[in-house]
Chains A and B, each alone.
Chain A
């Protein structure tokens, strides 16, 4: 797959737009010693201005919509957006309600989807690697 070809570490900012926390704990479990995504250089950062990848979970509630758009604007280019969980991908069990704006791609453009309710940590790591590969391709200089 070319894991030895990554040129630098990948910094991820995690945003919760109203999820039940199931996906969030599987994301954190992916970083703990059992699955240990950190050995690839994947790390969670505390500010969107440092991030390469924006990791979004949850169906977007009305209160969180403007925050989602603001955080998206703060992440510097080149950036990737990754959605974890069925509710962000296409609604899941929450596909129709009075306080939900809809899945994440109705608000911001999304690059990688990881479906599941919640997806296993292995699936989340695969999703991050896919985002990584896409990001590296986006950073390659355009052939003259």
Chain B
């Protein structure tokens, strides 16, 4: 009668620690614990971030009704209402996530993009600058459609409104907070 490892509190804490590291250094991949299988990286991240107090939208049904939702405990919500949104990085979708308000910018959505591990996956080069980045840097990300970055830049155009973005895959997790300037090369 064992729970899947990603729902184990000690592993969740290790994943959360990696997430903090990623947010401290936007654009740098923070490795997830070895116990996390690469194909389950997005599930491990959600397991560390979600609880019964928040809501999640999964418009592409990337999560299982039997093995994910009951253990994440988050409420199901529409993309427009959700605190967290999970989507596939290679398939851009037109979304209208919550951007927060001037008085409560934290009432915005966090977007989690699952990046495929395929060798022939599309590679997108991102030019990054902003808080947490000492020198502007360029990172290459596999499995991310550039349309996502275009949408994201529209969402964060009116700071402090916007969304925070996580890219997650077998490489680990990359954070792109709304304060980061992101250009596609």
Q: Do A and B bind each other?
A: no
